[in-house]
Structure 1
Amino acid sequence: MRALIAAAIGLAVALALVLTISAVGAPTGRTSPKPLLTTVPEHP
């Protein structure tokens, strides 16, 4: 029974955190226009 109560409390805390973050909104800012390099450039 304690495990069920602990799981319910954990789920409620996680849900409250998600709702808080979504209420605050995404941080404002700009993204870089330069693409990220995903490979190492070849050396001549």
Structure 2
Amino acid sequence: MRALISAAIGLVAALALVLTITAIGAPPGETSPKPLLTTVPDHP
């Protein structure tokens, strides 16, 4: 029974954290227009 209560408390805490972050919103700023390179380009 204690495990069930602990799981419920953890779930509520995680949900509260997600809702708080959602309410605050994304931080201001803009993304870079340049794409990120995932591989090294070939240089002959």
Same fold at TM > 0.5: yes
Count of residue pairs brought into register by the alignment:
44
Among the aligned pairs, what percent are the same residue? 82
- Cross-structure match for 1:39: 39
Deviations 1:17-40 (A, max 9, x none): 011001101111011111111211
Shift of 1:43: 2.4
- Output the aligned Cα RMSD: 0.8
Aligned-pair CA distance for 1:2:
0.5
Structure 1 spans left out of the alignment, 5+ residues: none
Moved over 6 A (4+): none
Runs of at least 5 residues in structure 2 that lack an aligned partner in the other structure: none
Partner residue, 1:25? 25
Q: Match for residue 11 of structure 2?
A: 11
Cα distance in 1 for residues equivalent to 2:43 and 2:8: 56
